[in-house]
Amino acid sequence: MKIAFVGKGGSGKTTLSSLFIRHLAATGAPVVAIDADINQHLGPALGLDEAEAATLPAMGERLPLIKDYLRGSNPRIVSTETMIKTTPPGEGSRLLRVREDNPVYDACARPVELDGGTVRLMVTGPFTDADLGVACYHSKTGAVELCLNHLVDGPDEYVVVDMTAGSDSFASGMFTRFDITFLVAEPTRKGVSVYRQYKEYARDFGVTLKVVGNKVQGDDDLAFLRAEVGDDLLVTVGHSDWVRALEKGRPPRFELLEDANHRALSRLQSAADATYELRDWERYTRQMVHFHLKNAQSWGNERTGADLAAQVDPSFVLGESVVATA
Ligand SMILES: Nc1ncnc2c1ncn2[C@@H]1O[C@H](COP(=O)(O)OP(=O)(O)O)[C@@H](O)[C@H]1O
Ligand SMILES: [Mg+2]
């Protein structure tokens, strides 16, 4: 399952992603955690100190390796230079699994021990001005999108992405790559406006979007969110002293998280698990091709000097069956 946490800066994306990752790890499920937020903070939220977080390898700096591995022997992709963030897999491409070891994880993932289990953590690396807005070719989140497009994941294994709700994820196909997207919103007009914008983009792509209210205090906050987002409101989280203690550098054991917040995390997991029944590999593949052709036309062909539409393998559908035959 692939799960994204999006929302306004400061809303609590990283906090809630990290709690959800801890929750999944405690159930014993395999988890790949990916930090694709502008403020790279998932490592510390998972308990790494500054020095440890600083040594995490940046996916954005390992794009050539990632491309080279994923390209495999796919004859439609003639070089790594012509491979852009939306280049879809086809016959001969190498695919990724959540549980395996592979050169991409060797280069880009680091194990993080949490109460009850170890997760793999991957980070895009810090964003610079050039990464925001129009810099498409070297886009940091492009490394994540490539990995998601080459990933065959099952129902009881999780990829959790902490992600900025920005133009980058809309221009590419990033926002369509998830079984469920949790939009973290504080009970404020700004929090809710990000939800509206996301919903608008997501509308035509069958994106499952649920709102997680954060820093919700009392009935008035709850009533506000209900009125603004209706049935899309999945669950709310209040102020957490557990989170505050972690931020003071005194991380309590995960069992000690407030009961209400443990229950909220279980709700998130059930909602995510329920979406697996809606999993449609054909649509998933079709959408990656759609965004690839769009990117090819708007900048990719010009930037690479190649006809990137020719990279599309028309008979390829990502899914368990391709892994089985490979
Ligand atoms: N439920 C919560 N209880 C206590 N503190 C919280 C909660 N949610 C977020 N915070 C705090 O709010 C700040 C912003 O949260 P963060 O997760 O970094 O936001 P984002 O990733 O969306 O920018 C952090 O200092 C975080 O610890
Ligand atoms: Mg963050």
- 243 Cα–ligand 1 center, Å: 8
Q: How confident is the model at residue 318 (pLDDT cuts 50, 70, 90)?
A: very high
Tell me how far apart the alpha carbons of residues 245 and 250 are, in angstroms, rounded to a whole number: 5
For ligand 1, say whether the CB of 164 is within 6 Å of any of its atoms. Answer: no
pLDDT at 165 exceeding the cut of 90: no
Neighbours of 13 (CB within 10 A): 29
Helix (H) or strand (E) holding 96: none
Write the DSSP assignment of 176-237 as a string of letters. GS-SEEEEEE-SSHHHHHHHHHHHHHHGGGT--EEEEE-S--HHHHHHHHHHHHGGGEEEE-
User: How many angstroms separate the first and last alpha carbons of the chain?
Assistant: 21
Ligand with minimal distance to 11 CA = 1
Q: Among residues 281, 211, 156, which one has the least CA distance to residue 11?
A: 211
Rounded to the nearest 10 degrees, how much is the dihedral formed by the CA atoms of 294, 84, 91, 94? -140
For ligand 1, say whether the CB of 260 is within 6 Å of any of its atoms. Answer: no
Using the Cα atoms of residue 144, residue 110, residue 129 and residue 194 in order, give the sign of their dihedral.
Answer: positive
pLDDT at 141 exceeding the cut of 90: no
Tell me how far apart the alpha carbons of residues 153 and 144 are, in angstroms, rounded to a whole number: 15
Q: How confident is the model at residue 132 (pLDDT cuts 50, 70, 90)?
A: low
pLDDT at res. 326: 59
pLDDT at res. 113: 96
- 109 Cα–ligand 1 center, Å: 24
User: Mean pLDDT over all residues of the chain?
Assistant: 93
Q: Mean pLDDT lowest for which of 92-96, 203-207, 270-274?
A: 203-207
pLDDT at 131 exceeding the cut of 70: no
For ligand 1, say whether the CB of 10 is within 6 Å of any of its atoms. Answer: yes
Phi/psi for 164 (5° steps) reads -80, 135
Residue 242 structure tokens: 């557990």
pLDDT at 75 exceeding the cut of 90: yes
Q: Mean pLDDT lowest for which of 57-61, 69-73, 139-143, 257-261?
A: 139-143
Q: How confident is the model at residue 138 (pLDDT cuts 50, 70, 90)?
A: low
pLDDT-above-70 percentage for the chain: 94
Give the tens place of pLDDT for each residue, 261-302: 999 999 999 999 999 988 999 999 999 999 999 999 999 999
Mean pLDDT for 177-198 is 94
CB 154 within 8 Å of CB 70: no
Q: Which residues contact 220 (CB under 8 A, 6 or more apart)?
A: none
For ligand 1, say whether the CB of 244 is within 6 Å of any of its atoms. Answer: yes
User: Ligand 1 pocket test: which of 5, 6, 13, 15 has the largest number of ligand atoms within 8 Å of its C-beta?
Assistant: 15
Mean pLDDT for 21-33 is 97
Mean pLDDT for 46-66 is 94
Higher per-residue pLDDT: 121 or 133: 121
For ligand 1, say whether the CB of 236 is within 6 Å of any of its atoms. Answer: no
Q: Among residues 100, 19, 36, 32, which one has the least CA distance to residue 269?
A: 19
Query: Which residue do the tokens 């809710």 mark?
Result: 192
pLDDT at 148 exceeding the cut of 90: yes
pLDDT at 39 exceeding the cut of 90: no
Residue 50 CB burial class (10 angstroms; 0-12, 13-18, ≥19): exposed
Residue nearest to atom 9 of ligand 1 (CA): 12
> Can you point out the beta strands (E) in 204-325?
209-213, 233-236
Ligand with minimal distance to 39 CA = 2
Neighbours of 245 (CB within 10 A): 13
pLDDT at 246 exceeding the cut of 70: yes
pLDDT at 167 exceeding the cut of 80: no
Q: How confident is the model at residue 169 (pLDDT cuts 50, 70, 90)?
A: low
Residue 295 structure tokens: 């990117």
CB 211 within 8 Å of CB 233: yes
pLDDT at 252 exceeding the cut of 60: yes
Q: Which residues contact 314 (CB under 8 A, 6 or more apart)?
A: none
- 39 Cα–ligand 2 center, Å: 5
CB 174 within 8 Å of CB 145: yes
